[in-house]
Amino acid sequence: MKNWLEVSSMDRWWVDNVKVVDPVADRVFDGSLCVQDGLIAELREGPAPEDAPRLDGEGLHLAPGLVDLHVHLREPGFEEKETIESGSRSAARGGVTTLCAMPNTNPVCDDGPRVSYILERSAQAGFAKVLPVGAITRGSEGRELADLGEMHYEGACAFSDDGRPVSDSGVMRRAMELGRTWDALIMSHSEERSLSEGGQVHEGAMSAKLGLEGIPREAESIAVDREVRLSRLTGARLHLCHLSSGSSVEILRRAKADGLKVTGETTPHYLLLDDSAIEGYDTHKKMNPPIREKSDQEALVAGLCDGTLDAVATDHAPHTEIEKNVEFAYAPFGVIGLETSLAAVLTRLYHSKLMELPRVLALMSSRPGAILGGNAGSLEPGSPADLCLFDPEEEWLVRAEDMASRSRNTAFEGMTLRGRVRATFLNGSPVYRRTMDEGKENEVFTPAKRMQESAS
């Protein structure tokens, strides 16, 4: 058996003694996986060849690295909250190997050079593959289309004004029509501002009790309905971001039944929390769209179970303690989630026996990978050896102070979750590993050399 440092410098080696979770084949089996030149060379049932260099997987579960469709890395412009390097470390700690970086930075990522900058910075960091999402409109101001073609050419994986809705239907139509020429993915922050403006939390009994202005479900679902209609009109590929309500899930369900090219995601905090969580005015429970009622949570879970919702993304949105440690009405929206997403989703869907393990992993790896195109989230031979080694049974207490992110605004502080990442591989290199040595936890981050070399 080889050690972790040795395998990172080898051209061909096996990870042995693992329970392989293959979300595409929908099965779990005792097996081994061969890595060659950063790619998956072979996947087999049973042990690796006796004479081959092997890494002991210690009986843990091995799955494709997670693919997160919705992350805010804040750089450039808000490095006090997060940088591409710190966000990538946070991703590695959570088993995420590919993530989509939203464009609401400062300046907004709305042209080719800014797309190139993000790609270069993430390669230099070497902890995760960061795919820039280009803005739909210049400055994300909703008026004039950004240069979508230039950003697509430079490597933007999708287009969105996330953080802001594109309120002008004509502008959104033109974005979809233009994007369709190269089958680009349009990601929608669906919000009808005339209904949400000034709102702090979900509109309902809890908002009335706390005296906080509410945001009705219709602020989301009316906008979702418009986006779906525009997708029908233009034939564009549409992805609906951070869905929070049962009414939105129902619109998506009908769109899929009609054969439209529409997909949707929800987030871990909507699956584990309902609006009773805001009773203590905890600003770490403040997000947009807001956490809603129990019935919405159940509708989201049902949408994941029946395949209406395609993915779970984090909407990782770092904010500093100074920003969040204020009166509720003045705190910004958003919570972090890269390091807790796998555990939260396993706790909510797998350990409650609502969903088998391969299907849970599919929501966080192969299905978002398929939405993006390419081979992220796959264990197919020839795919990059982007892997996540985890223990689905380990219980752990979420503590903000332990996060690799620069920010601490987790919604799950103090919660016990079940399921934890032990190691993450990027292009076959172990970029994150956690061990227990003499009862003491030890974490090691090592950037993937192949990525860093590609940036030099």
Tell me whether residue 81 is exposed, middle or buried, using C-beta atoms within 10 angstroms of its C-beta: 0 to 12, 13 to 18, 19 or more.
buried
Q: What are the tens digits of pLDDT across the range 100-115? A: 999 999 999 999 999 9
Q: What is the pLDDT of residue 450?
A: 74
Give CA–CA dist 378/171, Å, rounded: 35
List, in order, residues 6 or more apart from 50 with CB less than 8 Å away.
none
Write down the pLDDT at residue 456: 67
Per-chain mean pLDDT for the chain: 96
pLDDT over 70 percentage in the chain: 100
Q: Kindly give the interhelix angle for 218-234 and 246-257, rounded to the nearest 10 degrees.
A: 20
The pLDDT of residue 310 is above 90: yes
Q: Which two tokens stand for residue 298?
A: 């159940």
The pLDDT, as a whole number, for residue 32 is 98
Question: What is the tens place of the pLDDT at every residue in 33-45?
Answer: 999 999 999 999 9
Residue 203 predicted with pLDDT over 80: yes
The pTM for the full model equals: 0.97
State how far the Cα of 418 lies from the Cα of 441, in Å rounded to an integer: 17
Long-range contacts of 317-323 (CB under 8 A, 24+ apart): 317/72, 317/287, 317/409, 318/72, 318/74, 318/81, 318/82, 318/87, 318/405, 318/406, 318/407, 318/409, 319/81, 319/407, 319/409, 320/80, 320/81, 320/407, 321/407, 321/408, 321/409
Question: Is the per-residue pLDDT at 1 higher than 80?
Answer: no
Q: What is the pLDDT of residue 70?
A: 98
- Please give the positions annotated as active site: 315
Residue range 204-226: average pLDDT? 98
User: Which whole number is the average pLDDT over 174-194?
Assistant: 97
C-alpha distances (whole Å) from 96 to each of 52, 68, 154 are 28, 7, 23
Kindly report, residue by residue over 49-58, the tens digit of the pLDDT.
999 999 999 9
